[in-house]
Amino acid sequence: MDFTVAIDGPAGSGKSTISKIVCSKLGFTHIDTGAMYRAVGLFALNKKIDINDEEKINSILDDIEIKYVEGKIYLNGNDVSGLIRTPEVSAAASKVSSYKLVREKLVYLQQQASKDGKYILDGRDIGYKVLPNANLKVFLTASIDCRAERRFKELPNANLDEIREQIKVRDHNDSTRKESPLKMADDAILVDTTEMTIDEVANKIIELINERMC
Ligand code: DC
């Protein structure tokens, strides 16, 4: 039986963490679509390409091969899973993800990769664009302070106030851009995780999946 789950939400809302847990408990495959935008951002930074130059970014898209396999992201055959998690790459990903051709390429890859089987895709546009017919759509959110704290725990050498500001900028860019902004699908279920533990959120989503699978 095929079954797809779309999980959207802002930076730090717990999408990837929760998706991984639910996938390992239920035997689903996770696709972290943000990692794909990060890989494009990393490629541009490595090549010293101005990420604000949309035409230039468009011109390099054919040189980029991205694969997401078993929780690892490969850029032209190299595992870049660790390299994409820096604040520089976060900012570059947020910028390049506003470009139409970048989105067309990655949305196509995401749709192809989740065709047959049981998948959870997490991102910003999954519920209304990548998987409009998903069996379950969830929009995860949390307060800005809570999301900043969560990122801070992952990057303890960073500065909490700076992280909060970076998340605010990303929230603004991701939700106000013209191409597929961060948006809750009309038929998505809103889950505010501010006061919830990771296990509580994962169990809530497992419950929703089980309800829809029956
Ligand atoms: O989920 P993340 O923080 O790793 O995503 C990195 C950036 O990629 C984020 O700022 C917005 C963009 N993104 C997107 O536009 N669409 C998606 N489906 C996933 C991520």
142-185 tens-digit pLDDT: 999 999 999 898 887 889 999 999 999 999 999 999 999 999 99
Nearest protein Cα to ligand 1, atom 5: 34
Per-residue pLDDT at 214: 83
Q: Which atom of ligand 1 is nearest to the CA of 35?
A: 4
71-97 tens-digit pLDDT: 999 999 999 999 999 989 999 999 999
State how far the alpha carbon of 161 is from the alpha carbons of 20, 81, 145, 149, in Å. Answer: 28, 26, 10, 10
47-73 tens-digit pLDDT: 999 999 999 999 999 999 999 998 999
**Ligand 1 contact, 125 CB (< 6 A):** yes
Residue 47 phi, psi dihedral angles, 5° rounding: -85, 5
SS3 12: coil
**Ligand 1 contact, 93 CB (< 6 A):** yes
Summarize the chain as % helix, strand, coil (round to 5). 50, 15, 30
* Spacing, Cα 174 to ligand 1 middle (Å): 8
Say how many residues make up the chain. 214
**Ligand 1 contact, 103 CB (< 6 A):** no
Per-residue pLDDT, averaged over 204-214, amounts to: 96
Q: In what order do the strands lie in the sheet with 29-32?
A: 29-32, 118-123, 3-8, 136-141, 189-192
Q: What is the mean pLDDT of the chain?
A: 96
